[in-house]
Amino acid sequence: MSTPPSTSLFGRGSWTEAQRVTSVLRKETVGGALLLVGAAIALIWANSPWGEAYETLRDTEVGPASLHLNLSLGTWAADGLLAIFFFVAGLELKREFVAGDLREPARAALPIAAAVGGMAVPALFFVLFNLNGAEGALRGWAIPSATDIAFALAVLAVISTHLPSALRTFLLTLAVVDDLLAIVVIAIFYTEELSLGFLALTLVPLVLFGFLVQKRIRSWWLLLPLAALTWVFMHESGIHATVAGVLLAFAVPVVRSEASGGPDAGPGLAEHFEHRIRPLSAGVAVPVFAFFSAGVAVGGLDGLGESLGDSIAIGIMVGLVAGKAIGITGATWLVSRFTRAQLDENLGWPDVIGLALLGGMGFTVSLLITELAYGAESESYDHAKVGILFGTLTAALLAAVILRLRNRRYKQMYAAETSDVDRDGIPDAWDTVDDRAAHEPGRHAGPPPGSTYGGAPLGDEQDAPPPAYETVDDEADHDPGWEGGRPPGRTVGPSAEG
């Protein structure tokens, strides 16, 4: 007899993690809706007769010139607001690997492999389509490698699919790992000039910030100025300022100190910060960035056709749709092929492909990399944005079709994950012990219906106390020749008469 696999791909995680992920995704879904609204307003405005007013607003410069911070509103949104977004992503990632389910290497392998595959294959497709493209076109190789969790959740909300908790957790973790890899790519490949002096200065407020949070000091009047200084020095160093958000997040402790009761005493400082700042990230930072970045004047049908025919746009669209689907699905298959892990028995490869297509919605970070690769005033920049919009839309439509076709199965899994027979607040999928007697003091102590009768083993009913459930003898209704007697295991709650 063969040894069963030690790990189930997309298996259900812990109840604590499932609760936390549900709360996180609820906030991100609202943020995704706001993101869509912001992007739609930008597109409509940029292509209206008042399009110049949109460009004027986006390019309006504010900030102190003496500190080299006289930036346009669009740049403030990309460099400043997205630093908040990456701070939250860094908190989420650190928590997952320190205190979440991903602290187990077997569970962490899949989302990491899927994120790597979901970045490498789209980048390869883009390069193949632009090998003989215009000069500088290859600088955008990383554009189709990103995943926008807010956009993906907005699509899930629109199609109203009951995605199981394991798939939702995987999607969130995939997007967070993807964001971290994207910030590494930005720091390494999109830094044109590096000032070592300012980079060294960045360490001063960063270390002080880390010292204070390690002491569990959460006073905003101390932490915010240090975070702002870290951001300013990182910006001046030449490395994209959003990297500061990730570094600050990694300095925040995840678990409580022993003086505060230790890990079992409740959520740590990282989760506290995440709870406070995520609404600002999802509800303000990302939608405002989308508003300032998504507005592209396509120039009518002729201009749209020209943009869609450009090799940059084609490479992005193919990368977001085919590249993401092949990369994430292929990485998942490789994990299952070369380890003892197998797909959860309730899921199939169509579910993996549907999730992989959701990963093809690379809106926010893709727009950021586009600006870094081509500059905000170039024709390639506009073509790339059209490719991002159409690639994201195509991936969303294909994912919606596949996931809706699987929704009947998802509803069954959702029902199993929300059933709580003993009403102890933990669904039976995570708590298989029927402890109703502990939660209903007025009940006769009895185990789940069907295994015993009144607390005594079946066959010893005469020695049992009054049963906790009224037995129902209805077999005669279905079998007229039956002689009577209690059908084993058939019970209901207390009768309406009693």
- For residue 163, pLDDT over 80 is answered with no
Domain that holds residue 458: 446-498
- For residue 57, pLDDT over 90 is answered with yes
Strand partners, 452: 449, 457
| Average pLDDT value for residue range 160-177 | 78
Q: Which residue among 418, 436, 459 closes a domain?
A: 418
Evaluate whether residue 460 is within a structural domain. Answer: yes
Please tell me the predicted confidence (pLDDT) of residue 433.
62
CATH number at residue 396: 1.20.1530.10
Q: φ and ψ at 445, to 5 degrees?
A: -65, 120
| Average pLDDT value for residue range 55-67 | 89
Please tell me the predicted confidence (pLDDT) of residue 295.
86
Please tell me the predicted confidence (pLDDT) of residue 67.
78
Contacts of the segment 449-456: beta carbons below 8 A, 24+ positions apart: 449/489, 449/491, 450/488, 450/489, 450/490, 450/491, 451/489
Q: Which helix (H) or strand (E) holds 456?
A: strand 456-457
Q: Are residues 90 and 12 in the same domain?
A: yes
Please tell me the predicted confidence (pLDDT) of residue 265.
57
Evaluate whether residue 164 is within a structural domain. Answer: yes
Please tell me the predicted confidence (pLDDT) of residue 10.
62
| Banded model confidence at residue 323, pLDDT cuts 50, 70, 90 | very high
Q: Are residues 450 and 385 in the same domain?
A: no
- For residue 243, pLDDT over 60 is answered with yes
Strand partners, 71: 62
More confident residue, 164 or 248: 248
Q: Are residues 298 and 156 in the same domain?
A: yes
Q: Are residues 461 and 413 in the same domain?
A: no
**Distance in angstroms (rounded) separating the CA atoms of residues 401 and 406:** 9
pLDDT tens-digit readout, 107-153: 778 888 999 999 999 999 999 999 988 888 999 999 998 888 777 77
**Distance in angstroms (rounded) separating the CA atoms of residues 330 and 326:** 5
Of 7-21, 112-126, 436-450, which range is least confident? 436-450
- For residue 211, pLDDT over 50 is answered with yes
Please tell me the predicted confidence (pLDDT) of residue 442.
55
Please tell me the predicted confidence (pLDDT) of residue 1.
42
Please tell me the predicted confidence (pLDDT) of residue 6.
47
Q: Are residues 271 and 186 in the same domain?
A: yes
- For residue 497, pLDDT over 50 is answered with no
Contact between 334 and 113 (Cβ < 8 Å): yes
Taking CA 469 as the corner, what is the angle to CA 466 and CA 473, rounded to the nearest 5 degrees?
105
Evaluate whether residue 3 is within a structural domain. Answer: no
Evaluate whether residue 56 is within a structural domain. Answer: yes
pLDDT tens-digit readout, 425-434: 677 666 666 5
Question: Model-level pTM?
Answer: 0.77
More confident residue, 406 or 143: 143
Please tell me the predicted confidence (pLDDT) of residue 498.
39
| Number of domains, the chain | 2
Following CA atoms 77, 82, 84, 88 in sequence, which dihedral angle do they give, to the nearest 10 degrees? Answer: 160
Evaluate whether residue 224 is within a structural domain. Answer: no
Of 128-132, 409-413, 456-460, which range is least confident? 456-460
Q: Are residues 30 and 166 in the same domain?
A: yes
Of 220-229, 278-287, 413-422, which range is least confident? 413-422
Evaluate whether residue 259 is within a structural domain. Answer: yes
Report the percentage of the chain scoring pLDDT > 90.
35
Evaluate whether residue 435 is within a structural domain. Answer: no
| Average pLDDT value for residue range 1-15 | 55
Evaluate whether residue 212 is within a structural domain. Answer: no
Strand partners, 9: 343
What does pLDDT average to over the chain?
80
Q: Are residues 385 and 458 in the same domain?
A: no
Q: Which residue among 398, 418, 438 closes a domain?
A: 418
pLDDT tens-digit readout, 366-389: 999 999 999 877 889 889 999 999
Please tell me the predicted confidence (pLDDT) of residue 477.
52
Q: At what angle do helices 349-358 and 324-338 cross, to 10 degrees?
A: 140
Please tell me the predicted confidence (pLDDT) of residue 435.
59
- For residue 266, pLDDT over 90 is answered with no
| Average pLDDT value for residue range 83-109 | 82
**Distance in angstroms (rounded) separating the CA atoms of residues 315 and 296:** 18
Q: Are residues 291 and 397 in the same domain?
A: yes
- For residue 459, pLDDT over 70 is answered with no
Q: Which residue among 400, 418, 436 closes a domain?
A: 418
